[in-house]
Amino acid sequence: MKHFKSLALLAVASIAMMTSCQTTPVAEGDYDNYPVYKGDDLELTVGENGTKFTLWSPTADSVVVRIYNEGMGGEPVEMRYMERKSQQEPWRATFDEALYGKFYTFSIHHNGEWLNETPGVYARAVGVNGRRAAIIDMAATNPEGWENDVRPALNQFTDIIIYEMHHRDFSIHASAGNQYGGKFLALTQEGTQSPEGEMTGIDHLKELGITHVHILPSYDYGSVNESRPDSAQYNWGYDPVNYNTPEGSYSTNAFDPATRIREMKQMVQALHKNGIRVILDVVYNHTFVGDGSNFSLTTPGYYYRHNAEGGYADASGCGNETASEREMMRDYIVNSVKYWATEYHFDGFRFDLMGIHDIETMKAVRAELDKIDPTIFIYGEGWAAAAPVIPGEQCAMKANAYKMPGVAVFSDDLRDGVKGHFSQATGRGFATGEKGCEESVKFGIVGAIQHPQINYELVNYSKAPYTNHPTQVINYVSCHDDMCLTDKMRASMPDADEKTLQRYARLAQTIVFTSQGVPFMFTGEEIFRDKKGVHNSFCSPDEINAIDWSLKRANREHFDYYRNLIQLRKSHPAFRLATAELVNKHLQFIEGTPEQVVAYTLNDNAGGDEWNQIVVAFNGSSEAVEIEIPEGKWMVIANDATIDLAGEKTIEGNKATIAASAALILAR
Ligand code: CA
């Protein structure tokens, strides 16, 4: 270790130097007037010219960078004060040698005290549990053939079919037959099978036919101890620590900084090779902790919004909310997303509690991703846990989706209209026999656009359309939050047998997968997995969250229904109209249908479809009903909870019967 003066003495010297050359001191807490820094060298650059550290922390009065041999434990091998020319400039320290293999932290002296060490906010590699940043050669983390990795083709956003999964749920159960259960590498394994011989893993995804995998948070989060890889820990990961590094517990060696990076890239590469795009769930709206976060330890206060008492505002319900409207935070989000899209080749981003962010930030994200590839998809939760501090009209809320072209929002309108209230377990929806849900279902069918045949006053939540085009809405009936579909059906229809419950689930998903917009499903529902009734399984054990793949053989008929439903959507562009104009031109609701029935036609080879006309009708009641349809001969594509893509059975006339709790799809 090199010799260095006492921290306290140097802090005093540093303050004196700062005061002498600073004309207009930055006022603590006057965040909008903090001098911003636009350089692309923040925190670490390393190469032949040595190692340079650059920290943005205008109100620090001294900063130290420490160099370590280890990612955890041990003493620093080097410790150096960083310098700045003025308070307008970031802090800098330069080492002549390239410090590959070393770890580093910053600590700032602020308001009279030394804050805890932090890896900074831009760390791209970290040691175990993300406590220290690591200096590695990023190019060396690229798997073989990475330079040839390409995103699978995508013509338009409405071609997307999203499958949301957690690494551990998907592959940890013994029945998954995956040697890398719960890890990034699980998705690189081809040929895995359940004990009954059904495909699991990536082969299962291909068999199902989805186009995009949405992985739950996979950046470095705080609630799983990475140093104990063999213990059965579980968390969804909505507790961000290091935004620009992968989570260590999903790697085979969390102690080696390069391993998690390489293995995450291998995952993306394997999915791409198999024709599947990959979406990262990003959670910039809050951090795991407030005062102890890397944001707070780097530039105290700046990255968060505050309440009237000066404490953390908390629109996330997680203890704090970040301030995307501040320039350095907006840049941070934009740069982080760009980084994942370029370094890791991610194809989409799902923004947690997007309503906390401001609209300008989401538009900036869209604009930057367009420069990389306009087919990168962006969507988010257009809501927050409480009202954010900034004015509502500035927030990236669902109701403001039309102000954010190219950014999609989840439709809770369709979700709860179809299955019943998300948090009231016994609440029913259209698919489970609730009356009065018709307009909510119709709202979903058109992709939340303006359509003359919808009475918006009767839609459950939104009393007005909110998208410009169907490309801006995610249609779904379940996700990781709240009860999964199986549990919801069981809770709301307690007297129904399993076969009948599956019937409700099929009706619900048929509405999702035939609606205009982007369909989204939660992992395992295609084999009727459950979570034993647990609503919020964010830290539940494997007994609750892991998918038992033996269900696939047991519920093979149910799986085949999903597979056919997805194939139906993929092979018929009428269900994937990309603009409001096309929907209004081709989609017409059949008027005068009985209560608990929604029916419509897709006309004139909609979207270039080979079918000239399609009838789609949903019956939410427990009795078969007859409806009027356009006169003629029709192929029966779906009826009575079954699908026949070839439409071998036909009917003729101007009337058709929809079985109880089922969809009817006719074509000609
Ligand atoms: Ca972690």
Percentage of residues in the chain having pLDDT higher than 90: 96
Alpha carbon distance 167, 476 (integer Å): 20
Predicted local confidence at residue 109, as pLDDT: 98
pLDDT band for position 23 (cuts 50, 70, 90): low
Does the structure show a pLDDT above 50 at 11? no
CATH number of 588-667: 2.60.40.1180
pLDDT in tens, 573-610: 999 999 999 999 999 999 999 999 999 999 999 999 99
Q: From the CA of 539, how far away is ligand 1's center (Å)?
A: 14
What is the reported pTM?
0.96
**Which one of 247, 281, 381, 525 is the catalytic residue?**
381
pLDDT in tens, 37-71: 999 999 999 999 999 999 999 999 999 999 999 99
Alpha carbon distance 434, 414 (integer Å): 14
CATH 3.20.20.80 intervals, the chain: 157-575
Catalytic residue check, 368: no
How is domain 157-575 classified at the CATH fold level?
Answer: TIM Barrel (3.20.20)
Q: Which residues pair with 628 in a beta bridge?
A: 655
Predicted local confidence at residue 609, as pLDDT: 98
Whats the size of the chain, residue-wise? 668
pLDDT in tens, 420-442: 999 999 999 999 999 999 999 99
Does the structure show a pLDDT above 90 at 21? no
Neighbours of 233 (CB within 10 A): 17
Alpha carbon distance 28, 37 (integer Å): 17
Q: From the CA of 139, how far away is ligand 1's center (Å)?
A: 23
CATH number of 7-117: 2.60.40.10
Percentage of residues in the chain having pLDDT higher than 70: 97
Residue by residue, DSSP assigns 532-583 as: TT-S--TT--HHHHS--TTHHHHTHHHHHHHHHHHHHHHH-GGGG--SHHHH
φ, ψ of residue 584 to 5 degrees: the values are -65, -30
Return the higher-pLDDT residue of 231 and 409: 409
Residue with tokens 């990612």: 71
Does the structure show a pLDDT above 60 at 13? no
Whether the CB-CB separation of 280 and 218 falls below 8 Å is answered with yes
Instruction: Indicate the residue type of 330.
Output: R
CATH 2.60.40.10 intervals, the chain: 7-117
Q: From the CA of 179, how far away is ligand 1's center (Å)?
A: 22
Q: From the CA of 243, how far away is ligand 1's center (Å)?
A: 10
Does the structure show a pLDDT above 70 at 18? no
Predicted local confidence at residue 230, as pLDDT: 87
Whether the CB-CB separation of 450 and 516 falls below 8 Å is answered with no
pLDDT in tens, 484-522: 999 999 999 999 999 999 999 999 999 999 999 999 999
Whether the CB-CB separation of 426 and 432 falls below 8 Å is answered with no
Pick the closest to residue 583 from 467, 667, 417 (CA basis): 467
Q: From the CA of 283, how far away is ligand 1's center (Å)?
A: 14
Q: Enumerate residues with CB within 5 Å of ligand 1 (an ion).
A: 220, 247
Positive/negative CA dihedral, 324, 328, 334, 337 = negative
Catalytic residue check, 352: yes
pLDDT, averaged across the chain: 96
What does the block give as tokens for 250? 């999903």
- Burial code of 558-594, b = ≥16 C-beta within 10 A, e = fewer? bbebbbbbbebbbebbbbbbbbbebbbebbebbeebe
pLDDT band for position 12 (cuts 50, 70, 90): very low
Predicted local confidence at residue 127, as pLDDT: 98
Cα angle: 175, vertex 179, 181; to 5 degrees: 65
Average pLDDT value for residue range 465-480: 98
Q: From the CA of 485, how far away is ligand 1's center (Å)?
A: 30
**Which one of 226, 281, 314, 352 is the catalytic residue?**
352
CATH 2.60.40.1180 intervals, the chain: 588-667
